[in-house]
Amino acid sequence: MDEIKLGQAQHRGIRAEELLNNSLLQEAFQYLESEYLQAWRSTKVRETESREKLWQAIQILGIIQEHLRLHVTNGRIAAGDLRRLSAEFNKPKK
C-alpha cells in the first residue's frame, strides 16, 4: 500500500474512532437496539415476518459498529506502517 492510501486509511480510522466514541451516536445505537428489542419481544409468535425484520435490524446495528471498529483497527495498522516507512526514509545512509 502506498503512503497516500495508508494516510487515507489512518484518517478513516481516526474518524471511525471518533464516531464510536461519540456519545450521541452511542446513545442512538443503544436507543435503537432497545426499541427494536422491545418491539421484537412484544410481537406475537405468529408474526414471523415482523419478528425477523426487527431481529435483522438489531443485527445490522452490530454490523455497523463492527464495520467502524474494523476501520479503527486498519487505521492503527496504517499508522504503524507509516511510522515504519518514515523511520526507513529518515534512516541515515551508509
Place of cell 408474526: 47
Q: What is the pTM of this model?
A: 0.83
Quickly count: other Cβ atoms within 10 Å of residue 48's Cβ.
10
20 to each of 40, 60, 64, 73, how far by Cα in Å?
A: 25, 15, 10, 12
When the pLDDT of each residue in the chain is averaged and rounded to a whole number, the result is 94
In the predicted model, is pLDDT for residue 10 greater than 90?
Answer: yes
First to last CA, the chain: 27
- Amino acid 94: pLDDT: 66
